[in-house]
């Protein structure tokens, strides 16, 4: 458990990368599926559930990373990126408004970059976190 708390940026970057890979792979998988079998229009339940799985993992990674960062500006950008990703995924499920399929790539890439930046430059070096400092 201690390792998980110390590596939240790495976990967040990996989860965001897997989420991005999942988003990129989806159209190709369904093109291949429709070419081989012309019976099903819907996504398999397990494939659609991956969206929620990645959201949950990335939520906890963002939550923990914002608690241990030494950068004042990275917190709102991590939460903003996660919130946009959440809205886009919920919009895909519920369809509140029309949105390009490629829109999901921006918040996913932002989360990857922010987690990697935070991991490299913004970690606290002692038990007392320096999040209140600029």
The answer to the question of residue 69 being in a domain is yes
The answer to the question of residue 39 being in a domain is yes
List, in order, residues 6 or more apart from 83 with CB less than 8 Å away: none
Highest averaged pLDDT of the listed ranges 42-46, 59-63, 79-83, 91-95 = 79-83
Higher pLDDT, 27 or 82: 82
Residue 15 CB burial class (10 angstroms; 0-12, 13-18, ≥19) = buried
Number of domains into which the chain is organized? 1
Is-contact 15 54, C-beta < 8 A?
Answer: yes
The answer to the question of residue 113 being in a domain is yes
Higher pLDDT, 126 or 66: 66
The answer to the question of residue 130 being in a domain is no
Over residues 11-62, the pLDDT tens digits come to 788 888 887 787 777 776 665 555 545 555 566 677 778 889 889 988 988 9
Q: What pLDDT score was predicted for residue 125?
A: 58
Parent domain of 94 = 2-121
The answer to the question of residue 101 being in a domain is yes
């Amino acid at each position: 458990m201690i390792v998980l708390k110390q590596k939240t940026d790495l976990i967040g970057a990996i989860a965001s990368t897997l989420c991005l890979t999942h988003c990129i792979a989806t159209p190709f998988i369904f093109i291949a599926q429709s070419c081989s079998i012309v019976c099903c229009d819907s996504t398999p339940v397990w494939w659609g559930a991956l969206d929620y799985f990645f959201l949950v993992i990335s939520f906890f990674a963002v939550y923990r990373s914002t608690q241990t960062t030494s950068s004042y500006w990275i917190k709102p950008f991590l939460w903003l990126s996660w919130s946009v990703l959440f809205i886009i995924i919920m919009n895909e499920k519920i369809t509140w408004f029309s949105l390009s399929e490629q829109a999901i790539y921006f918040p996913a890439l932002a989360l990857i970059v922010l987690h990697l930046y935070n991991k490299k430059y913004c970690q606290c070096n002692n038990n007392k976190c320096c999040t209140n400092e600029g």
